[in-house]
Amino acid sequence: MAKLLPELERYGNERCHGALDNVTLSGAYFSRKYEVVSERREIKQRTMRKSKRGIRPQRRPSLKPRTVS
């Protein structure tokens, strides 16, 4: 029984469950699901804004041949 307790603790408090929008069992039980999901959404939006600012469009190569003078 003593070996089973740490695994049950991890299963309920640390392991995210796909059916619960990747929230832990204790998070869903104690009504923290909305809080966790909305925080993740904010983090994702911030990350997307940062990455959009950092990405610059590449110059398209010209189809005209260059003339050397």
Q: How far apart are CA 30 and CA 36, in angstroms?
A: 12
Q: What is the mean pLDDT of the chain?
A: 79
User: pTM of the full predicted structure?
Assistant: 0.49
Decide if 36 contacts 23 (C-beta within 8 A): yes
Decide if 12 contacts 25 (C-beta within 8 A): yes
**Residue 57: predicted pLDDT:** 60
pLDDT tens-digit series, residues 36-59: 888 889 988 988 888 777 666 666
Decide if 20 contacts 28 (C-beta within 8 A): yes
